[in-house]
Amino acid sequence: MSKKFLTDVIQQSSEMTGVASAQLAADLIAAIKEEIVENGRFSLPDFGTFTVRETAKRSALNPRTGEKVQVKAGATVRFKASPALKEAAFAGAKKAKRKAAKSKAS
């Protein structure tokens, strides 16, 4: 999903101009970021939850040289899909698989 995708969906579902829908999409993204920064979590029912997780200091291997490199501790945002989203994604995957098998058999 991209900002342009959100802008297009907003514009198609409302009578907003392209500029207004782009601003609304940008405002939504900014609000989600702000919520994650303030609370460490953002949840949308029937979609999923974004949570901030701390990563520990560790050592890794440089793939080019093979030498050990120290990686600093930090934080990352993780996403956990809701059961409704998982079910919809699974149904979509099954449908795509059937469609591919059907077109292959033809």
Q: How many domains are contained in the chain? A: 2
Residues 6+ apart with CB under 8 A from 71: 57, 58, 59, 60
Domain of residue 59 covers 43-106
Residues 61 and 30 placed together within one structural domain of the fold? no
Confidence (pLDDT) at 36? 92
**C-alpha angle 30/39/28, rounded to 5°?**
20
Residues 92 and 75 placed together within one structural domain of the fold? yes
Residues 64 and 98 placed together within one structural domain of the fold? yes
Helix (H) or strand (E) holding 51: strand 48-55
Confidence (pLDDT) at 2? 85
Residues 105 and 79 placed together within one structural domain of the fold? yes
Residues 6 and 30 placed together within one structural domain of the fold? yes
pLDDT(28) > 70: yes
Point out which residues pair with 44 in neighbouring strands.
48
Residues 57 and 5 placed together within one structural domain of the fold? no
Residues 35 and 60 placed together within one structural domain of the fold? no
Q: Report which of 90, 3, 87, 92 is spatially closest to residue 47, judged by C-alpha positions.
A: 87
Q: What is the mean pLDDT of residues 3-22?
A: 89
CATH label of the domain that carries residue 81:
4.10.520.10
Residues 12 and 53 placed together within one structural domain of the fold? no
> pLDDT tens for residues 34-62?
999 999 999 999 899 999 999 999 999 99
Q: Is 40 left (phi over 0), alpha (psi -120 to 50) or beta?
A: left
pTM: 0.67
